[in-house]
Amino acid sequence: MIVFDRVSKRYDEGHDALREISIDISRDEMVFLTGHSGAGKSTLLRLIMLMDRPTRGKVLIDGRDLAKVGSRAIPGHRREIGVVFQNHQLLFDRSVFDNVALPLVIAGYDQREVGRRVRAALDKVGLLERERALPITLSGGEQQRVGIARAVVGRPKILLADEPTGNLDPALSADVMQLFEEFNRVGVTVLIASHDLGLISQLHHRTITLRDGRLVSGMAA
């Protein structure tokens, strides 16, 4: 589902964020991406989202070479991937409902379908009764769950998360991880960047470790 074939990424300043990375994540897999701060985790996710292009090597998503996805096709590509960010990236002047509805509105679903799906997603993350609230009135854990609901509302094949538990306490972090496992169980490929090694070790999933942009373990399934 997600294939990196000897991918390198060098930023303009000459810094190598990724060096010769090869990974193969299959459909229905849930994988952790770990490593010290600055190891290249976010960079790897950014390449999948086409927020950046690799300097060398190939990235294939669902068999499609991302080098062949032109800039006009990027929005369509992103609609097929759900993303959760550490800093939530919510619209603070819109209700929880509107935030979660955003991907569906972009994709052009009609009002009824949007309502149905948003409520289903909010129900899944346990925030159904807060749909009218503004994100600012929610706790950090709740905001993160709104971000997760938004990431899955379009029923993407792939779910990416960059430090989704970065500023949550251990109990909330475990809840969030459990949510990801549930999505994975219904067939979503999940890739989570995190340096919370304690939490990762409790969950039994493949873990890919980066160090200074190099793959040190977790290459094979």
Ligand X SMILES: Nc1ncnc2c1ncn2[C@@H]1O[C@H](COP(=O)(O)OP(=O)(O)O)[C@@H](O)[C@H]1O
Using CB under 5 A as the binding rule, whether residue 42 contacts Mg ion is answered as: yes
Residue 39 binds which one of ligand X, Mg ion, other proteins, none, with CB within 5 to 8 A depending on kind? ligand X
Shortest Å, Cβ 133 to ligand X: 31
Q: Are 82 and 110 in contact (CB under 8 A)?
A: no
Residue 150 binds which one of ligand X, Mg ion, other proteins, none, with CB within 5 to 8 A depending on kind? other proteins
In the bound state with other proteins, the residue whose beta carbon lies nearer, of 88 and 130, is 88
Binding test (CB under 6 A) with ligand X, winner from 4, 25, 43, 168? 43
Place of tokens 């190939």: 58
Using CB under 8 A as the binding rule, whether residue 106 contacts other proteins is answered as: yes
Binding test (CB under 6 A) with ligand X, winner from 37, 93, 110, 132? 37
Q: How far apart are CA 168 and CA 74, in angstroms?
A: 31
In the bound state with ligand X, the residue whose beta carbon lies nearer, of 23 and 127, is 23
Query: CA distances (Å), 212 to each of 13, 20, 85, 198, 216, in order?
Result: 16, 11, 22, 21, 10
Shortest Å, Cβ 59 to ligand X: 15
Torsion of the alpha carbons at 164, 108, 62 and 147, rounded to the nearest 10:
0
For 120-129, the CB contacts below 8 A with 24+ separation are 121/149, 121/150, 121/152, 121/153, 122/96, 122/97, 122/149, 124/149, 124/152, 124/179, 124/182, 125/149, 125/179, 127/96
Helices (H) and strands (E) in the chain, counts: 7, 10
Strand 81-84 to strand 214-217: parallel, antiparallel, or no bridges (unpaired)?
Answer: unpaired
Binding test (CB under 8 A) with other proteins, winner from 136, 171, 186, 220? 186
Binding test (CB under 6 A) with ligand X, winner from 30, 31, 35, 143? 35
Phi, psi of 20 (to 5 degrees): 50, 55
Which among 4-12, 39-47, 101-109, 200-208 is the span making contact with Mg ion, rule CB under 5 A?
39-47
Using CB under 6 A as the binding rule, whether residue 38 contacts ligand X is answered as: yes
DSSP H/E element including 105: helix 96-107
Binding test (CB under 8 A) with other proteins, winner from 110, 136, 204, 220? 110
Which among 13-21, 68-76, 129-137, 145-153 is the span making contact with ligand X, rule CB under 6 A?
13-21
Residue 114 binds which one of ligand X, Mg ion, other proteins, none, with CB within 5 to 8 A depending on kind? none
- The contact set with other proteins (CB under 8 A) reads 49, 51, 72, 75-80, 83, 89-91, 102-103, 105-111, 113, 150, 155, 157, 186-188
